């Protein structure tokens, strides 16, 4: 018993000495084994298609202007915060798969071009609770727009890939729109 007490006392003394030495700021990062994070498995490529509903009109809009644009023709300088439904089909009342949450901002002076920064937060099926993060340029008048997937969480942790956006419907009076997002995601 005395040996155990002496051993513990020495351990406490050593910890006190080590912790009292100055931290020079060089030991904030360390290399870890990829297996601890599940990165030893083979990467998968998952493809899925969702429909993004940007609703600016009505009593419960999912897209709110938080900064008006400098010019209406290109929406330059305008910023919208979104919590848009992601559905399985083009119609808004089809199966809700999740939400697109983030912002888009008019970032082009000579065309309708947005900076998109949003998370697709899934609420259904295998990917419930997982997200992908999209950050990129969206030239809204182009037939197909490609934007990168820069990360994710849950089953999409360490995700990368891209999305292709295609406008399926737009109301030119209210500017409500439905956009198809075809997503290609590499993940573990």
Instruction: Give the per-residue pLDDT at 123.
Output: 98
DSSP string over 66-118: EE--S-TTT-TT-EEEEEEEEESSSSTTS-EEEEEEEEEEE--SSS-EEEEEE
Alpha-carbon distances of 96 from 63, 74, 133, 153, 182, rounded to whole Å: 17, 31, 19, 20, 16
129-172 tens-digit pLDDT:
999 999 999 999 999 999 999 999 999 999 999 999 999 999 99
122-131 tens-digit pLDDT:
999 999 999 9
How far apart (Å, rounded) are the C-alpha atoms in residues 100 and 79? Answer: 16
Kindly give the parts of the chain with pLDDT less than 70. Answer: 1-2, 4-5, 7-24
Instruction: Give the per-residue pLDDT at 37.
Output: 78
Tokens of 184: 């290609």
Helices (H), the chain: 2-20
How far apart (Å, rounded) are the C-alpha atoms in residues 65 and 105? Answer: 10
User: What global pTM score does this model have?
Assistant: 0.82
How far apart (Å, rounded) are the C-alpha atoms in residues 50 and 94? Answer: 11
Q: Residue 152 burial by CB count (10 A; 0-12/13-18/19+): exposed, middle or buried?
A: buried
Count of CA atoms in the C-beta half-sphere (13 A) of 188: 13
Instruction: Give the per-residue pLDDT at 41.
Output: 83
Q: How many CB atoms lie within 10 A of CB 150?
A: 15
Instruction: Give the per-residue pLDDT at 27.
Output: 78
Instruction: Give the per-residue pLDDT at 13.
Output: 59
Tokens of 14: 């050593």
- The domain 40-187 having CATH identifier 3.40.309.10: the answer here is no
Are 159 and 186 a contacting pair, CB within 8 Å? yes
Instruction: Give the per-residue pLDDT at 17.
Output: 59
């Amino acid at each position: 018993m005395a040996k155990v007490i002496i051993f513990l006392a020495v351990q406490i003394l050593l910890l006190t000495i080590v912790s009292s030495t100055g931290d020079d700021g060089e030991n904030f990062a360390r290399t870890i084994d990829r297996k601890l994070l599940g990165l030893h498995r083979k990467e998968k490529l998952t493809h899925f298609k969702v429909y993004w509903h940007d609703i600016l009109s009505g009593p419960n809009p999912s897209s709110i202007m938080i900064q008006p644009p400098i010019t209406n023709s290109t929406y330059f300088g305008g910023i919208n915060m979104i919590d848009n439904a992601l559905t399985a089909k083009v119609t808004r009342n089809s199966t809700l798969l999740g939400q697109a949450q983030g912002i888009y901002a008019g970032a082009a002076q000579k065309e309708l071009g947005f900076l998109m920064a949003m998370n697709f937060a899934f609420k259904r099926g295998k990917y419930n609770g997982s997200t992908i993060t999209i950050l990129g340029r969206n030239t809204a008048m182009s037939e197909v727009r490609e934007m990168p997937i820069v990360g994710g969480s849950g089953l999409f942790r360490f995700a990368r890939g891209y999305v292709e956006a295609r406008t399926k419907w737009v109301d030119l009076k209210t500017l409500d729109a439905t956009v198809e997002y075809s997503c290609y995601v590499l993940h573990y």
